[in-house]
Structure 1
């Protein structure tokens, strides 16, 4: 009851703020819910164990994430009823793929509800059914958009956001297997195959874009490209949870995720250096962008995959242990930095909107 009251209070405050300032979230904003959710459920729960997951902090962080998710859902409905849904969430061809964050964000919230408040069994079950419907709509939109990209040959704008098709699909696997027990193997296998197919197709699109066109690492390399290893990590976790894939294949997926992680993050470090030289520290890296939540999600998902996988080979066990003990502090440090940047952005946006209220009565949330 205490946690329910806390959820109601937080949601009421967020709803009032969103409604009173007519805040319409960007399509990718739900990535914040994805990131916080996987850090709570996959990183902190695993590392600190039952004392954290069954205690106050686990439930408190889950409530915060659930309240954010509900507030963002309300903002999306506001955009729909206000006639702005198409403009904000659909008009931009590539941005449509970001709707996958809504599916994945809902999945992690359903998993948190089931894990932390299992007395409310019917709520995560209802949420699961609704999320599967949302996933079907999203996949339909994604397939339509992929066909449009092929037909118009507009590959130059694609980036890692396309891989949210894989992330959303495998999040459905994790959600359904958490909430419902004894699902048919054919159902799990179908989702797994669909997720991997989307990974292969979208990775090809991204590779084609960077190989076949000229680009600048400072301007044209997107934060979302880190989903290349994040999507593979969540696919690996889905394979483990369904128990339909043998250990050798899961090890192969994990090793592949490590290699892609090292490759992508090496590019990211080089990009960071180039951006600092080109734009300076403040504009180069110390600035908020909603897509940065995607990086936190992918790091946390890779950490969770590493924690979950079982290994017998001495070298792989050593690598796993190092990632577990060092990785948690990297993930938490990235989260703190992102919260600071996001908070500064929100405050500046709010103050600016207050000054310009007589000119414009609507603001866009990050």
Structure 2
């Protein structure tokens, strides 16, 4: 039985919830013309309220020495702090999109977020060193790529609010995120290629979708900065698209195996906070493709395909998001029911 204290704790990866819903409000929602601006504003305010609750709880836990030591002492789980940085970055972009008058206040928030990102970078350097010492001793997965996601999320906001920033700063930050991606992906490959025996059902977590999601946000950072040519970005987009198909094909195989072994409910309809990472990566690929598609600088032979793809992908992003919200609500309802029973007994 869970104690009341444990029930009040929030998962350190909860920043992914803000990332997933935020990227939908930032990009994919525009595909649904029947959603008026006022409705989008209301949803944005609701997200801001949810974010305030989540980050208040995360900060409270971070101030607790025992929780802080527990998080930082484990190399792989420590990377979930990247979801805190990326969540604030995405939320800041949403706030500026729907409430441009708040841009000054948002800049202040992003100043603190940038400082948090710098602290997270220091943690990433240390934790990557620890992982590289014994890569097969840890169950490394896609969460380590949040180092890339956090970095590129900050760059995207910088580009949007500070268009006069030196190009060298943008190139340096994007390169740092890409460097972390290469290290993280190499560690993941070593973990699955040379590590302990593993199974797709038990040892392939939802966070592995960040393998393509981290590249999507890197692509968005690049096209937002217009740092590379249209031809290079066309090839880059193709690489991300192929990775997305490959990773999600593995996910479908995994889902089928889990259903056969555990049944429908436990196999795929049981909520876990890591599932939000898929919603974020799907939404980020939409944002990357949309931004590239709308910028004449990146006009290429895939333009007609992107036009049709974006219509279909917007629905996929929204349907997966609705499904995840349903699992989330169902999970919280079960928790509330169990609390009620405990009070009665």
For normalisation by structure 1, the TM-score amounts to 0.87
Q: Does 2:186 correspond to 1:204? A: yes
Does residue 346 of structure 1 match 2:328? no
Contact 1:114 1:179 in 2 (8 A): no
Q: Which residue does the alignment assign to 1:355?
A: 341
- Number of equivalences: 337
**Secondary structure in 2 matching 1:309:** helix
- In the TM superposition, residue 65 of structure 1 has moved relative to its aligned partner by 1.2
Structure 1 residues 25 and 151, CA gap change in structure 2 (3 angstroms) = same
1:305 aligns with 2:288: yes
* Offset of residue 312 of structure 1: 4.5
Structure 1 unaligned blocks of 5 or more: 1-18, 360-366
**1:26: which partner in 2?**
11
Query: How far apart are residue 153 of structure 1 and its match?
Result: 3.6
Match of 2:215 in 1: 232
The answer to whether the Cα contact below 8 Å between 2:234 and 2:300 also exists between their aligned partners in 1 is no
Question: Which one of the candidate residues 334, 338, 346 is aligned to 2:320?
Answer: 334
Cα shift at 1:318: 3.7
Which residue number in structure 1 is paired with residue 45 of structure 2? 63
Which has the higher mean CA deviation after the structures are superposed, 344-353 or 303-312? 303-312
Shift of 1:272: 0.7
**Aligned-residue offset at 1:85:** 2.7
Q: Do 1:303 and 1:323's aligned partners in 2 also have CA atoms closer than 8 Å?
A: no
1:118 aligns with 2:104: no
How far residue 155 of structure 1 moved from its aligned partner, in angstroms, is 4.8
**What's 2:120 paired with?**
138
Counterpart for residue 100 of structure 1:
82
User: Within 2, Cα distance between the matches of 1:136 and 1:353?
Assistant: 40
Deviation at residue 82 of structure 1 after TM alignment: 4.5
User: Which of 79, 86, 89 is the equivalent residue of 2:68?
Assistant: 86
Deviation at 1:168, TM superposition (A): 0.4
Q: Is the 8 A contact 1:111 1:179 kept in 2?
A: no
In 1, the alpha carbon distance for the partners of 2:218 and 2:75 equals 25
Give CA deviations for 1:18-55 in whole Å, capped at 9, x if unaligned.
x999722111111010000000001113x246x857x2
Give 1:172-321 correspondences, 5 Å limit.
172-213=154-195, 214-310=197-293, 312-314=299-301, 316-321=302-307
Superposed CA deviations along residues 36-89 of structure 1, whole A, max 9, x for unmatched, are 0000001113x246x857x21121111111111111111012223454432663
Contact 1:296–1:334, Cα closer than 8 Å, also in 2: yes
CA distance in 1 between counterparts of 2:300 and 2:165 reads 32
RMSD: 2.2
SS of equivalent residue, structure 1 residue 24: coil
2: distance between equivalents of 1:22 and 1:288?
Answer: 16
5+ residue gaps in structure 2?
none
* 2:22–2:91 contact (8 Å) kept in structure 1: yes
